[in-house]
Amino acid sequence: MNFSQINLLLLSGFGKTCSLFFLTLIFALPLGLVVMFGLICPFKPLRWLTRTVVWIIRGTPLMLQLFVVFYVPGMLFHTNLFVGTSGRFQAALVAFVINYSCYFAEIYRGGVESIPRGQYEAAQVLGLSRVETFFRVVLMQVVKRILAPMSNEVITLVKDTSLARVIAVAEIFYINEVRILSKAIIWPLFYIGVFFLLFVGALTLLFNYAEKKLSYYKL
């Protein structure tokens, strides 16, 4: 195999990696907000149920969760919910979304609970509703406070996409292992590192830009 052929194979795998990354963010970011409301819900049974689920998800490896999502439904219901190549990708997406929504929920919760109680009381005195208080007083302060931990989780997600290979999702490492490494060609492993370095570098620049844009919120 020449460089051009290897490059095309790796680019196709990296496209799948990027798809898994962006779709996970699209679904996990809002789902994490929903989970966060469960974590701080005044209704104790719902709060403790949500905390238990988050504890289990955060306390077990993502690789195990991938296996559970892909194999367990078939074992329980005697039918394969995730069929074919697209099914494997869907199973990986479900596992990633569940996993990262729990991590995002804890970050959201920490940001919301870090806002001094006096600000809520002041907004109430001014006649603001709870919704107005959240969007006009709390939201931008929370965004500022959670930006750094969120950036760490997002960058971790970039690298975690490689775990999808354990259920044969055709991301970049799986393509390299099946199509290239089997031919005893080693150097593409280091080439893959360049893909990830450039991707993480672009995200780092993006988050640095966001931090500068929000720097006028002095907390």
Q: How far apart (Å, rounded) are the C-alpha atoms in residues 113 and 108?
A: 9
Tell me, rounded to whole angstroms, the distance of Cα 29 from its chain centroid.
7
Please report which helix (H) or strand (E) contains residue 79, including its range: none
Contact between 57 and 100 (Cβ < 8 Å): no
Q: Which residues contact 33 (CB under 8 A, 6 or more apart)?
A: 104, 105, 108
pLDDT over 80 (residue 207):
yes
Compute the mean pLDDT over every residue in the chain, rounded to the nearest whole number.
90
pTM exceeding the 0.85 threshold for the entire prediction: yes
Q: How many CB atoms lie within 10 A of CB 50?
A: 20
* Average pLDDT of span 179-202: 90
**pLDDT of res. 46:** 95
**More confident call, 110 vs 140:** 110
In this structure, what token pair is assigned to residue 211? 């931090």
Contact between 95 and 31 (Cβ < 8 Å): no
The angle subtended at Cα 71 by Cα 68 and Cα 73, nearest 5°, is 90
Contact between 128 and 137 (Cβ < 8 Å): yes
Lowest mean pLDDT among 2-16, 84-98, 114-128: 114-128
Structural domains present in the chain: 3-213 (1.10.3720.10)
Per-residue confidence at 76, pLDDT binned at 50, 70, 90? Answer: confident
Q: Residue 64 half-sphere exposure, CB side, CA atoms within 13 Å?
A: 6
Q: pLDDT exceeding 70 applies to what percent of the chain?
A: 98
pLDDT over 80 (residue 118):
yes
Per-residue confidence at 162, pLDDT binned at 50, 70, 90? Answer: very high
Of 142, 132, 133, 140, the residue nearest 109 (C-alpha): 142
**pLDDT of res. 218:** 53
